[in-house]
């Protein structure tokens, strides 16, 4: 796939567009605005299963396999009392979906090989000059690992502790375990892309800065700030109605703060899923955070507008969980607080609550302890639930964060992959439970609990507003590159005939595009390609978007599948240096690909006398 995408695209894009019967539609935005879609969505009906099932190579990403072939990929970690079990065969496993056995079509086993990992990683070449790509550049023989350091939901002392524990882990980091590092504040930042070089990671860890979270009441740690002077509420000096209104206001403020934290966190998880979806195989997301309660409703249906309602987190959380599952990501949450003691018995505790009321009054201490315990159980329960649903493992009530990081990577690096086409073809958006059995006693299995049976084409059609919002988020220059829809793009600076026009020729991997054969005998697909230009200060200058509707004859379709799917976009810019954000989206499945580029527009030469 990578070799096909690195072919030179200059001069062939528009010709192939016309020859293939594709109709480009262009939408231009005013300066400073995001590009909008040209015309109504042309999402076609779902393709029949027999037409969509093509051979599914194991090197393709799970996201593409689900969107195009409906293949369900399940990673299974097998352990016994001695550790990882590495000698199981396909016949040793059986897979059930909602209690019904499924036929396993793909089976393989993965475990770390240090020398092989580095050899494959160095073999991936860079694209030619002026060609920019989002094709995954790091290929490993084992699972990829992502460290997500959560500053949004973690106070400063715990952030510093996590940094020290990370450095401690890196001192003894084994070779052959590729790691990428992200941080989360009010935005997600990629500090280091995948590398298996401990020295590079050590430097990154030492340079990590703590961030004050604007959405925490006590980002510096310590007791809560008291909202009223000590004893005012207990003395009766404040009317009961006024005190009740104050309590209601405080509850609303905390709820709004939680809204923002949850939105930022879910956006970050979804963005990581898009960034990793183009990498084949298992990815282990090690999320180090104080966290906050999240829950995933196993009966949630992903068929309606997931942004409907206020403070109805279920659909958003379910959608984020599904994006992680699609990208073959296993969650390994680690509580950044370590072993958590009760704050009631902390030396810094004033003996009063946030309203200045004494905790010595009858019943208040017991209520506070009960509430604190319930909140901690909710956090740990959410961590455990997220780990269980994605096939990972949660770590809490332990001060050995470095050990938890090591165990997370070791646990997720040796696994079996089983894949099947579901016997149930009713894509109703409901959660389907997966159960894997093994015919050997003493072996414990860990795998994701299930998946949402979403028809990708219908989901994109019914949730156009959500899909546009997701595309806009992926096109943000601060957002990591999305790899779900692989492409290469040749950026051509202005020519003499058009001194302001920058042309971009996209070559998209056709195997990741959802084609549908209609009664006219042609293969239909709809693709959007966009170019956004930003100034050196990061301000959006201009954006252009083209929608390509393809109707390919059988022979043309065969040629496209052996090469690339073309799309051309031009953008007019004044003289200057620009950063470009390039993006493509399959309008039927919602798969997204983005990458960054740069271009210089020279001043026009003076006219000859």
Q: What is the DSSP string of 243-304?
A: HHHHHHHHHHHHHHHHHHHHHHHHHHHHHHHHHHTTS-S-EEEEEEE--------TT---SS
The span from the CA of 99 to the CA of 131, in Å, is: 49
Structure-token pair, residue 64: 């593409």
Indicate whether 58 pLDDT > 80.
Answer: no
Length of the chain: 609
The span from the CA of 22 to the CA of 208, in Å, is: 48
Please tell me the predicted confidence (pLDDT) of residue 566.
94
The span from the CA of 291 to the CA of 569, in Å, is: 42
Q: Where in the chain is the domain with CATH 3.40.50.410?
A: 146-411
Q: Where in the chain is the domain with CATH 2.60.40.1940?
A: 2-46+457-601
Query: Mind listing the pLDDT tens digit for each residue in 366-408?
Result: 777 777 777 788 788 878 888 888 889 999 988 889 999 999 9
Please tell me the predicted confidence (pLDDT) of residue 113.
65
Residue of 215 and 5 predicted with greater confidence: 215
Q: Is 23 exposed, middle or buried (0-12, 13-18, 19+ CB in 10 A)?
A: exposed
Residues in Cβ contact with 441 at an 8 Å cutoff, skipping those fewer than 6 apart: none
**381 φ/ψ sector (left φ>0, alpha ψ -120 to 50, else beta):** alpha
Indicate whether 596 pLDDT > 60.
Answer: yes
Please tell me the predicted confidence (pLDDT) of residue 151.
92
Residue of 467 and 34 predicted with greater confidence: 467
Indicate whether 567 pLDDT > 90.
Answer: yes
Instruction: Report residue 13's pLDDT band, with 50, 70 and 90 as the boundaries.
Output: very low
Please tell me the predicted confidence (pLDDT) of residue 608.
63
* Among the ranges given (116-125, 172-181, 263-272, 304-313), the one the predictor scored with the smallest mean pLDDT: 304-313
Residue of 32 and 517 predicted with greater confidence: 517
Indicate whether 4 pLDDT > 70.
Answer: no
Residue of 326 and 581 predicted with greater confidence: 581
Query: Mind listing the pLDDT tens digit for each residue in 540-566?
Result: 999 999 999 999 999 999 999 999 999
Please tell me the predicted confidence (pLDDT) of residue 128.
79
Contact 604, 54 (CB under 8 A): no
Residue of 462 and 252 predicted with greater confidence: 252
Rg, Å, the chain Cα set: 26
The span from the CA of 367 to the CA of 139, in Å, is: 53
* Among the ranges given (21-25, 52-56, 153-157), the one the predictor scored with the smallest mean pLDDT: 52-56
Contact 405, 334 (CB under 8 A): yes
Please tell me the predicted confidence (pLDDT) of residue 86.
93
Contact 84, 109 (CB under 8 A): no
Name the percent of the chain in helix, strand, coil, to the closest 5. Answer: 30, 25, 40
The span from the CA of 97 to the CA of 159, in Å, is: 41
Please tell me the predicted confidence (pLDDT) of residue 3.
39
Q: What is the mean pLDDT of the chain?
A: 79
Please tell me the predicted confidence (pLDDT) of residue 17.
40
Instruction: Report residue 244's pLDDT band, with 50, 70 and 90 as the boundaries.
Output: confident
pLDDT, average across residues 82-93: 94
Please tell me the predicted confidence (pLDDT) of residue 43.
32
Residues in Cβ contact with 272 at an 8 Å cutoff, skipping those fewer than 6 apart: 146, 148, 182, 188, 285, 324, 329, 480
Please tell me the predicted confidence (pLDDT) of residue 338.
82
pLDDT, average across residues 569-596: 93
The span from the CA of 409 to the CA of 494, in Å, is: 48
Instruction: Report residue 62's pLDDT band, with 50, 70 and 90 as the boundaries.
Output: low
Supply the CATH classification number for the domain 146-411.
3.40.50.410
Please state which CATH class domain 65-137+413-453 belongs to.
Answer: mainly beta
The span from the CA of 283 to the CA of 14, in Å, is: 38
Is 168 in a helix, a strand, or coil? helix
Please tell me the predicted confidence (pLDDT) of residue 28.
39
The span from the CA of 337 to the CA of 155, in Å, is: 9
Residue of 359 and 210 predicted with greater confidence: 210
Residues in Cβ contact with 373 at an 8 Å cutoff, skipping those fewer than 6 apart: 342
Is 108 in a helix, a strand, or coil? strand
**99 φ/ψ sector (left φ>0, alpha ψ -120 to 50, else beta):** left
Contact 284, 330 (CB under 8 A): yes
* % of the chain beyond a pLDDT of 90: 36
The span from the CA of 407 to the CA of 397, in Å, is: 15
Neighbours of 179 (CB within 10 A): 25
CA triple 466-34-542, angle to 5 deg: 160
pTM, full prediction: 0.79
Instruction: Report residue 119's pLDDT band, with 50, 70 and 90 as the boundaries.
Output: very low
Instruction: Report residue 24's pLDDT band, with 50, 70 and 90 as the boundaries.
Output: very low
Supply the CATH classification number for the domain 2-46+457-601.
2.60.40.1940
């Amino acid at each position: 796939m990578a070799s096909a995408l690195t072919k030179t695209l200059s001069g062939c894009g528009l010709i192939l567009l016309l020859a293939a019967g594709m109709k480009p539609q262009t939408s231009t935005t005013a300066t400073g605005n995001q590009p909008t879609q040209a015309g109504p969505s042309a999402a076609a009906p779902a393709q029949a299963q027999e037409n969509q099932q093509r051979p599914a190579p194991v090197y393709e990403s799970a996201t593409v396999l689900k969107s195009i072939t409906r293949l369900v990929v399940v990673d299974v970690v097998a352990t016994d009392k001695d550790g990882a079990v590495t000698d199981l065969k396909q016949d040793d496993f059986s897979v059930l979906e909602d209690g019904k056995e499924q036929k396993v079509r793909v089976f393989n086993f993965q475990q770390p090989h240090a020398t092989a990992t580095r050899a494959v990683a160095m073999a991936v070449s860079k694209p030619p000059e002026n060609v920019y790509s989002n094709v995954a550049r790091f290929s490993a023989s084992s699972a990829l690992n992502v460290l997500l350091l959560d500053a949004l939901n973690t106070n400063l002392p715990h952030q510093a502790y996590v940094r020290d524990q990370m450095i401690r882990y890196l001192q003894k980091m084994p070779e052959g375990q590729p790691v990428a590092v992200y941080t989360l504040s009010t935005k997600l930042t990629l500090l280091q892309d995948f590398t298996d070089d401990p020295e590079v990671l050590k430097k990154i860890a030492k340079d990590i800065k703590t961030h004050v979270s604007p959405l925490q009441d006590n980002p510096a740690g310590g007791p809560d700030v008291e909202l009223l002077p000590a004893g005012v509420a207990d003395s009766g000096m404040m009317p009961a109605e006024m005190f009740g209104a104050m309590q209601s206001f405080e509850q609303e403020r905390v709820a709004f703060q939680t809204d923002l934290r949850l939105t930022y966190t879910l956006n970050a998880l979804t963005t990581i899923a898009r960034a990793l979806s183009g990498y084949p195989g298992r990815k282990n997301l090690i999320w180090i955070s104080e966290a906050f309660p999240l829950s995933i409703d196993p009966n949630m249906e992903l068929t309606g507008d997931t942004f409907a309602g206020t403070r109805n987190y279920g659909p958003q959380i379910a959608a984020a969980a599904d994006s992680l599952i699609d990208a073959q990501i296993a969650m390994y949450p680690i509580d950044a607080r370590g072993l958590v003691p009760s704050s009631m018995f902390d030396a810094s505790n004033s003996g009063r609550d946030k309203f200045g009321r004494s905790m010595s009054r009858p019943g208040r201490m017991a209520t506070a302890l009960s509430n604190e315990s319930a909140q901690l159980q909710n956090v740990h329960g959410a961590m455990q639930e997220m780990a269980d649903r994605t096939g990972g493992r949660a770590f809490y009530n332990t001060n050995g964060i470095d050990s938890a990081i090591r165990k997370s990577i070791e646990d997720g690096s040796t696994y079996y992959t089983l894949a099947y086409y579901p016997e149930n073809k009713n894509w109703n958006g409901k959660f389907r439970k997966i159960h894997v059995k093994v015919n050997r006693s003493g072996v414990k299995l860990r795998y994701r609990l299930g998946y949402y049976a979403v028809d990708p084409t219908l989901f994109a059609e019914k949730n156009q507003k959500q899909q546009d919002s997701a595309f806009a988020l992926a096109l943000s220059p601060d957002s990591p590159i999305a790899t779900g829809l692989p492409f290469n793009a040749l950026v051509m600076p202005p020519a003499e005939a058009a001194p302001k026009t920058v042309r971009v020729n996209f070559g998209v991997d056709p195997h990741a595009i959802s084609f549908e054969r209609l009664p006219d005998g042609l293969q239909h697909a709809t693709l959007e390609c966009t170019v956004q230009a930003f100034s050196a200060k990061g301000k959006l200058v201009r954006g252009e978007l083209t929608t390509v509707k393809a109707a390919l004859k059988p022979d043309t379709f065969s040629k496209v599948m052996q090469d690339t799917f073309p799309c051309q976009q031009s953008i007019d810019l004044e003289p200057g240096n620009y950063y470009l954000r390039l993006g493509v989206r399959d309008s039927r499945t919602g798969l997204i690909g983005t990458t960054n580029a740069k271009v210089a527009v020279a001043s026009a030469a003076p006219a000859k006398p």
